[in-house]
Structure 1
Amino acid sequence: MESDIFTLRKPEATDGFALNKLVERCSPLDPNSIYCNLLQCSHFADTGIAAEDEDGDLVGFISGYRPPERPDTLFVWQVAVDSRCRGKKLAQKMLLALTERLAPEGIQYIETTITPGNVASETLFARVFAALSAPVERSVLFSRDEHFDGLHDDEVLYRAGPFKLTTPNS
């Protein structure tokens, strides 16, 4: 891919199959069923963002949701960027655009989980949190031994915020 031109937009249900194929290409991401991806692109479209290239191909996606007990929080579930588009800060652009879109709705925190040693995710979120001037707290949300029977690394919760974006109407 030669171009750095991407269109960032709210997901649509018709993106579900393409999202499934994108995640398959983004090892080591955990794959989900096509049905789950359809739900991410429809039921959770308000808290997701899709990136397509000049040809209209889905090359990036962030899925997230608002935990019911913390409506001021965006929990980022999964970030996928096609290997052809890596190194262009597409994930960072998507996450900042999603945060900006949700800020007028009261989002002041971002949460995600990262397995220790996932340098790409650690770097992405560190850059985004710095851009938002958001303080960060870390704690183990799901432990290798207690939740994964020793078969999966810890999932460390990163909680950043509060942050306040200045929007044109604020």
Structure 2
Amino acid sequence: MNANEVIIPCRLSYANIWEPKQVNGTGDPKYSCCLLIKKSDTAAIAKLKAAIEAVKKDPRALARWGGSVPKNLKLPLRDGDTEKDDENYEGCYFLNANASESRRPKIIDRACNDVLDQDEVYSGCYAKVKIGLFSYSASGNKGIGAGLEVIQKVRDGERLSGGNSTDGFEVLSDDDDSFLD
């Protein structure tokens, strides 16, 4: 692994990992995923923070930022307790990672075999995710971003997708369509 790569145990949220999508209908389509990292996973947090510090000291990053670390540097690791009003983010840090349309992330199972069934890896499942940290300076923003590289599903979890649960529905008989008349 490269020094800027980290494997993070996490829960997937907003897992747009099968087809690239535009963000808010603008820009180039990208694969993307939000990684929910338990604050109690101090080892993973320490590895991630160390990798972020390494990027801050990288001569290429410093050159990109005009020779020094900007005061308003945007960092990839954010606090779910303070930045999100969502119970799924409670007690977690979160990090958004993405990949360009031409660099689809590799998606594997516990045995490192490719996952082909899109229903197997989803928002809410637990995974180990390899990200590559990088510096950027674009449109007046300077920061450290996270590239989405490999997703290894570890286990199932409650789906976070919402909207397509069949709760509240029941089997209908032929007489149950009278409301259409």
**Fold in common (TM above 0.5):** no
TM (norm. structure 1) is 0.25
TM (norm. structure 2) is 0.24
Larger Rg: 2
Higher relative contact order (CA 8 A, sep 6+): 2
Identify, as 1 or 2, the structure richer in helix.
1
